[in-house]
Structure 1
Amino acid sequence: MASHRRPKQPSRARVTVLTATAAAAVALTSQAAHADPKPTKTEVKAKVDKLYEEAEQATEKFNGAKEKQEKLEREVDNLQDKVARGQDQLNEQRDALGAVAAAQYRSGGIDPSLQLFLSSDPDDFLQQAGALDQISGRQTDTLKKVQAKQRELAQQRKEAAGKLADLADTREQLGKKKSEVKAKLAEARKLLNSLTAAERAKMAEEQERANRASERAALKAAGGSTAGGSTAGGSTSTGSSANIGKGSGLAGAAFAAAQSKIGSPYVFGATGPSTYDCSGLTSWAYAQAGATIPRTSQAQANAGQRIYSQSQLQVGDLVIFYGDMHHVGLYAGNGQVLHAPRTGTVVRYEAIGNMPFQFGVRI
């Protein structure tokens, strides 16, 4: 007789495991189907270039915070020196009053007003202006000087405290900007490391070729027509008669100094003598020529006479790029600029049309 037993059903636990396994398999298949393809070398380069530009923007903010910190440190030091000198003067004035009190004591007693001054907080006593009438004219003059010195010291201490608070805030901002720059550069390095060794070598070769091409273009412009060199944007400059390296006066001396640093690596926050960022190069160059200009590109944009026409630029003029003015170089003549471009590059010539020109600045 045939058996009619029902087939054994899978346990609930087994069903759960099977279901989970199937779901995981579906998810993995879905992820594999929708996974982003590995970016190409060209895409990586574009992303890295963008990160380098953002890092340079953060670098100029870092430079500004650093400059403010250094200025505040000098101001705080000066104020603290003034307070120390003022305290010494106050002590001398109080010593003089003490001598008067000693003389009065030897002659039979101390003036009550003077005794009150010497035995309590001078501020409390000096608020009682009427008490000054009880003291001799000489003592009155001395007390008034003490009062003025105390007020001056109180103001200086208050100002120093405010500067110290600003300094603490600025140091905090400086740390944040430095971290921001480092984060951008780390992200760029991570992207570069995602490429194969061959791809990285190819990118480095292309960058070196770009450096050489820029230098050749500059040298060609220097020896070519002086009436109008072509720019990278395809337009022709129609007024510059300056050849590369032939500036004059202060600007020419600054340009000559910058020329001596061609090939020096870009390093954020650097002002020489072997590495530079963009505004570090320009401020260093003008310092070699005997002029002090601000540290950051944004501040340098307001350091002299603005020149809005490229045709009016002269060798050594500052050239400001980008809407937020985060990049600066030195005009080299014939549509070229000498600058420290960004991380991964060196001080070099480049066509002015390669970047969004804003205006020049004549120091």
Structure 2
Amino acid sequence: MPDLKIAFGNVNNLFEPRRDDPRAPASVGERDAKVARIAQVLKSLFGGEGPDLVGLAEIHSDGIVKELARQLAMPLLVWQPCRNSDYALTGLAILARKERFASLDLVTQYPQSSFYRPRYIVVRCVLAEGSEPFFFVVNHWRSRIPVGQSKAAEAETDRRHTAQALATWLAENGADTCAIVVGDFNAEPFEAPFGEGDLSATRYFRPLVYPRLYNTAWRLLTEPDYCEVSVAHGKQYRASRARTTLDYYDKERPVSVVFDQLLVTARAIAGGPILLQEGTVDYAFDDIIGHHLPDGDRRPSRWSFIGGVARGASDHFPLTAKFLVHIEANHGQGRAEEEGRGAAEGRGGR
């Protein structure tokens, strides 16, 4: 059975055209070009094989998400929009390949009202092999971009409430829950939403005490290469991957380059229907997705459509990972029971 390829992407204001919103495309033509560019980027992941399951943030409308599903040939779709009065906010979506999944079902969302931008959605995923289900949790937490002191404090409170709500859901579902938690958390692994009293996420996979999560982003906080390896690449430094640290300064304001992270429960590491292959966790990068700064660091290439020419895709790198499909873990007990009954029947026949 092939690995399960999972991805997350914040597609950066994939709106319908809106005259009153500078984030939106200026025309239907620009919207269609950006949808096609996002589909192109997603299909290029995993060496051109594309993901089997993908979570997406910052999608605006039903029409956009359905067109993405069509272009990606991923007809299984869970879509949670924000349907407030002026449709000024975006929603979350999960798309999957029909040949890999029997079903995707929305379990819960936060907040519950569809008139607020969803912070996370939880989807129950059943593989085509009919194995034990697992949960895919896609997040987009409140932005940390400061707009005055009160707004910054309000945003931090919102993130902590979101973290606490997700922690409560995980705790209520028990220690044997197999869950993958991905998304744009607008918080670094070491910041307040991750920790005691919030969403308890550790940098160590063992011991992974219920209801904690293991956060794979911790190892991405450091330099991508040892210094002697970086020097050996040549005279000009070129980072081999992105970092999530606050290492970029724009007009004297620290800006974190990548917020997107992948976390898992214990049963997604061992004993569950899918098992994390941590060495595959990465941020996708090519000439469309990103570029190098003069100092050698990697940056995502934001979308632009100047003069009808498409450049870049998003202000986030797509996050990718592979999971081993472990069917035997789900049916081994049942097979053992059947074999036990068969042996007993055989002894009775003799």
TM-score between both structures, scaled by the size of structure 2: 0.23
Q: Which structure is higher in helix share?
A: 1
- Structure index of larger Rg: 1
Q: Which structure is higher in strand share?
A: 2
